[in-house]
Amino acid sequence: MPKKKQPQEGRPKVNNPNVLGLHAQVVEQPITDTLETNYMPYAMSVIVSRAIPEIDGFKPSHRKLLYTMYKMGLLTGARTKSANIVGQTMRLNPHGDAAIYDTMVRLSKGYGALLTPFVDSKGNFGKSYSRDMSWAAPRYTEAKLTAICAELFRDIDSDTVDFVDNYDNTMKEPALLPTSFPNILVSANSGIAVGMASQFCGFNLKEVCDTTIAYLKNPACDLTETLLAPDFPTGGELICDPAVLRDIYDTGRGSVRVRARYRYVKEENLIEIYEIPYSTTVEAILDKVAELIKAGKAKEIADMRDETDLSGLKLAIDLKRGVDPDKLMMKLYKQTPLEDSFACNFNVLIAGSPRVLGVRQLLEEWTAWRTESVRRRTYFVLNKRREKLHLLKGLKRILLDIDKAIKIIRETEEEAEVIPNLMIGFGIDQVQAEFVAEIKLRNINKEYILKRVNETAALQDEIDDLEDILNSPKRVKKIIVDELTAVAKKYGEPRRTAIVYGHEVEEYKEEAAVEDYPVSIFLSREGYFKKITPASLRMNSEQKYKEGDGLRQSFETTNAAEVMFFTDQCQVYKTRLSDFDDAKASVLGDYLPAKLNMDAGENVVFAVLPGDYSGALLFFFENGKAARVEVKSYQTTSNRRKLTGAYSDKAPLACIRRIDGDCELAVYSTEPRCLIFHTALLAPKTTRTTQGVAVMNLKPKYRLDTVKTLEESSISHLSRYRVRALPAAGALLRQEDSEEKQLDLLD
């Protein structure tokens, strides 16, 4: 007991008579003494005996539970009630039944917190990905050890590890478990001690075994070749940064980014999230998404719900019409726990001292510890074999004269003299004499004794082999490698967490709010573009063009709309009208080849407002062919502004038309001929660069000139030019059908 420090001179004693009616004396004590005598022992106990794992990958609470289950015969036997296990474990762990059961839950297969669970559970053990899904009471659940626990307790009775007294000195427990694989890297583990913490991410069992084998063969090997990245039981995608991983492997500190995995169900227009980061829960995700919806920052979402069932985790997000699912998920990754960071802090107890180690250092410590365990096991077996050989050598002595041994025993008057008389009669020691004296009467025959004696040679060979192992570090290393190979083959599983590299991940960039208001847009034949507000258009509606230029197309739309410009070099440029400044009718406008950084000599031939990307584009070529391409073929998930291969370059382009539904079109040639056909005769093509099908049969020297809707044409004798099959030559255009209407707007 520490001595109570006397009050310093000049500081009076303070008597407080109001403490429970008794007089109490309060003695002042420096805070440093209080910390040293009261707090430091507690802090050291938490660090060494509770919160930080040791080289076998377990904290004391884990080790006590698993060892109790092992002694209960639950490695090979049937399951038993969890309450029974908890009660038995309290002989080693005095921290209470609730704490013991919580430990069992975390190690269980049902809870799903470990890649390689050690408790085979039956009943409701909750789920690691749920904050609110509580597990059933221990009286309702059952458990046993999983098969891989055989590797935790391999040769535990062969003096592979030290045994220490339990808390009340009534029984022994192992100080460490003799794991035959580096469980410290396989099992995820976290703990908060006093002034320090520990956070281990799990790695794939097969990768860890392969890495350890590679390290044993070459300590300077590149760990990243076999240990690809952390692996988490909840799956997801790990965004791999090689520099960060190397830093974690070298220092034991760092963080990795993990994000959820999802699939888009087109038929139902919803997103299904089926794997989430290990460090979050479904409730945290739902709460954050609900917060975004309430704040008006996730208007693309119609509804979100938890559809988790017996088949596994599933979060469903109902989308509004026209929402890009990939773009929405990039936004949710940025603003919700659907993408989260896992911080690594490989703090482990080595010989009772906490140390933060990198992966290579951990492998070094584990292999040194495992080497010592294998040597201790070998030495234990060697001693057993030596003892047996010693007994057999004594048995060999009586082989020459069994009758003499029987005579000595028979003629000895006192039982206590049997052993000394045998020792004198055959020249053997006491242990050998005890062994001979304990032989059953039925075994006193030459056949039995000869069989036992014949074991001597084989036993001697085994002893020589064991001694060679002890004297050969190379053979000890081979034993460890063989055990690791067997573990990887028997218990190895594929990775659950997919690996994606940083350059493959598209980061979400929040777009600035665009003011939306009505506008009219005008495109000239030479590529000048103007965006004019209705108020400005009412003040002056007369458009200004360069000499020889004129109107190609005009639309009424809104400022936030997207627009696509097709060029004469089979390319399309995508942008938004908000990127253009409001103009007036009296100016020329923006010159699109310069504004959009087009290639040299490239000119705009057609503009399209894609909207929700419905409808189709019809490309008519001068050789009489036409191609029908869905507008959605030009839809992209990224902000790409330029698409090559917008249409076929096999023949010169004559005209582009957009249709929202099937209709009749009039096709004119330079002969001049005309035919009217229904667009339903043109089947949609899957590729943008298709040459299409022949629509108009042309004579040499003539080409397809233009295409109009029936409303735009002045044809009065429709039946003369209408065809029911393609291709067709069409009919010569009559004078009364060739008068063109004056058009102000072209679609």
What's the rounded mean pLDDT across residues 226-238? 94
One-letter amino acid of 143: A
Range in 33-42, 132-141, 375-384, 654-663 the model is least confident about: 33-42
One-letter amino acid of 533: T
Cα distance between residue 698 and residue 707, in whole Å: 15
For residue 685, what is the enclosing H or E element? strand 684-685
Q: How confident is the model at residue 705 (pLDDT cuts 50, 70, 90)?
A: very high
Cα distance between residue 650 and residue 628, in whole Å: 15
pLDDT higher than threshold 50 for residue 32? yes
Q: What is the pLDDT of residues 682-694, one digit of tens each?
A: 999 888 999 899 9
Which phi and psi angles does 26 have, rounded to 5°? -100, 125
Bigger pLDDT: 89 or 96? Answer: 89
Q: Considering the entire predicted model, what is its pTM?
A: 0.68
Range in 172-176, 315-319, 333-337, 431-435 the model is least confident about: 431-435
Cα distance between residue 461 and residue 535, in whole Å: 105
606: nearest Cα among 637, 581, 640, 634: 634
**3-class DSSP state for residue 596?**
coil
Q: How confident is the model at residue 640 (pLDDT cuts 50, 70, 90)?
A: low
Q: Which of 46-60, 131-145, 386-400 has the highest mean pLDDT?
A: 131-145
Q: How confident is the model at residue 20 (pLDDT cuts 50, 70, 90)?
A: very low
Which phi and psi angles does 423 have, rounded to 5°? -60, -40
Q: How confident is the model at residue 747 (pLDDT cuts 50, 70, 90)?
A: very low
Domains of the chain, first to last: 52-179 (3.90.199.10), 261-337 (3.30.1360.40), 363-491 (1.10.268.10), 518-737 (2.120.10.90)
Helical segments of 438-472, H only: 446-470
Cβ atoms of 747 and 659 closer than 8 Å: no
Cβ atoms of 25 and 17 closer than 8 Å: no
* pLDDT computed for residue 296 by the predictor: 85
**% of the chain at pLDDT higher than 70:** 94
468: nearest Cα among 367, 392, 460: 460
Cα distance between residue 565 and residue 605, in whole Å: 8
* Backbone φ/ψ region at 43: left (φ over 0), alpha (ψ -120 to 50), beta: alpha
* pLDDT computed for residue 527 by the predictor: 92
Cβ atoms of 152 and 161 closer than 8 Å: no
Instruction: Determine whether 169 is exposed, middle or buried from the number of CB atoms within 10 Å of its CB (0-12, 13-18, 19+).
Output: exposed
Instruction: Give the mean pLDDT of the chain.
Output: 88
Provide the annotated active-site residues.
140
* pLDDT computed for residue 392 by the predictor: 83
Spell out the residues 6+ positions from residue 366 whose beta carbon is closer than 8 angstroms to its own. 55, 182, 184, 212
pLDDT higher than threshold 80 for residue 611? yes
Q: What is the pLDDT of residues 502-560, one digit of tens each?
A: 777 767 666 555 678 899 999 999 999 999 998 888 888 788 888 889 899 998 999 88
Cβ atoms of 289 and 303 closer than 8 Å: no
Cβ atoms of 635 and 327 closer than 8 Å: no
* pLDDT computed for residue 516 by the predictor: 82
